[in-house]
Structure 1
Amino acid sequence: MCGIAAWFRLSLRKRRGSLMRVLGFLAGFAVVVSSIPVTADSLSTRNRTTLFSSQLEVLDGRASSQYANSIRLQPSRVVIPSAANTGTQYSGNYSGEFLEMAKSAARRNNVPEDLFLRLVQQESAWNPNAVSSAGAMGLAQLMPGTAQYLRVNARDPYQNLDGGARYLRKQYDAFGSWRLALAAYNAGPGAVQRHGGVPPFRETRNYVRVIWGN
């Protein structure tokens, strides 16, 4: 009896071990099976992302082609303005010491160089000792009152040119036009204001025409 009981207990332990191995296998298989949908879903997501990206590239290419060929769809072009119109270029023969001084005065006061050189050419023909019948003096032909207003010595070439360029710039700032600034330089800002433009004076109109051009 003892031998039979021992055999029975041994057999029961073996069966129990086999059962545990079977259960372990089934549990592992369940884990593997449960992971399959997740992997498939991940693959499906990646495939959809790749497909969507390729479709976007196609659409972008088509849109780019249509955009390039359609004037209506293109944005308005930004036109960068060139330098402000300042009349004709300076073509005088003078090349003396006051030429660079005049250019420097123009740059310091934000006045177009060619325009200021033409003004000096017309005003004094580059004669630092020029005096008009009205009393204007020097290279830029400053009136005594204007020189006093600008706080410059009209008899000094450097100060005369600097004052002339500064005064011309003030007229441009006031009227927004180099053509009107020239008219104001010659006839006075009050005359330009009264006439709403270049005054109908022969001298002033000729002055503007010579310096500014047609």
Structure 2
Amino acid sequence: MPRARTSQNDRQTAASPQEQGSGCLSGFTIVPLSVILISYLLASLALKTNPAPSVNSEMPPAASTGISPIFTPEIQYWAGNIIQWAAASQLDPNLAATIMQIESCGDPRARSSAGAMGLFQVMPFHFYTADNPYDPDTNAARGLDYLLRSLNAGGGDARLAMAGYNGGIGIISRAEWAWSAQTKRYIQYGVPIYQDARNGLSVSNAVTEWYEKYGASLCRQAHERLGLP
């Protein structure tokens, strides 16, 4: 939950020329071979001057335009809204879905013992006086605004963004050993869930583990609240 308001060699072979007469190459053979050699040298020079772009296998997939099927039915219920909310906040919808999964499992009336409210478990001081914290659109706008600020503070690192969302943006600049146990647990589950979503998996062991350890009762409550079968 947001705490403080702070300002993803080809080898080339060539056949040997056919031997003629006494074994030496004829004048006819020398000319075409010279052309071939010159062409080869020019091609090699061109490749050195303009090398082919390399592919970075560490590069994560592009931001998704939908949400992954790994999320629970309660999150899928909000899929269309998540896409719209994420687009308005310029965020990956799978990142927004990951936050909602862990924070409320899609229960719009969820409230924590610390006072965080709604789908994205936003703390009271992030709302304006006229806001209804439990209105899904309002809750998403305030929560995802904080998530975007956290993402920017973390230099685009989703892991740091999640830590900042849970523990306050100020912790991003601190050593991780100083993070609270809650924040460490938050990223322990949040990061692999988000990675599974971005990697196109259809089932996530990370979601299953989170559900079994922490999310079962939360999701049951959300399931009933949403009237899902």
Q: Please, what TM-score do these two structures have when normalized by structure 2?
A: 0.56
Q: Secondary structure at the match of 1:73?
A: helix
Aligned residue type for 2:85: A
Aligned residue type for 1:175: G
Aligned residue type for 1:65: Y
Work out which structure has the larger RCO, using CA pairs closer than 8 Å and 6 or more positions apart in sequence: 2
Aligned length: 153
- Unaligned ranges ≥5, structure 2: 1-33, 196-229
The aligned counterpart of 2:169 is: 189
Of the two, which has the highest radius of gyration?
Answer: 1
Q: Are 1:132 and 2:107 an aligned pair?
A: no
- Equivalent residue in structure 2 for 1:108, among 60, 70, 88: 88
Cα RMSD, aligned residues only:
3.4
Are the structure 2 counterparts of residues 145 and 62 from structure 1 closer, same or farther at C-alpha, using a change threshold of 3 Å?
farther
Aligned positions of 1:117-156 closer than 5 A: 117-148=97-128, 152-156=131-135
How far apart are residue 118 of structure 1 and its match?
Answer: 1.2
Q: Secondary structure at the match of 2:48?
A: coil
CA contact (8 A) 1:180 1:198 kept: no
Are the structure 2 counterparts of residues 135 and 67 from structure 1 closer, same or farther at C-alpha, using a change threshold of 3 Å?
farther
Task: Measure, in 1, the Cα distance between the counterparts of 2:94 and 2:78.
Answer: 14
Task: Measure, in 1, the Cα distance between the counterparts of 2:162 and 2:112.
Answer: 18
Are the structure 2 counterparts of residues 209 and 78 from structure 1 closer, same or farther at C-alpha, using a change threshold of 3 Å?
same
CA contact (8 A) 1:183 1:199 kept: no
Aligned residue type for 2:52: R
CA contact (8 A) 2:115 2:124 kept: yes
Identity of aligned residues (%): 26
Are the structure 2 counterparts of residues 157 and 122 from structure 1 closer, same or farther at C-alpha, using a change threshold of 3 Å?
same
Q: Secondary structure at the match of 1:170?
A: helix
Runs of 4+ in 1 over 6 A off after TM superposition: none
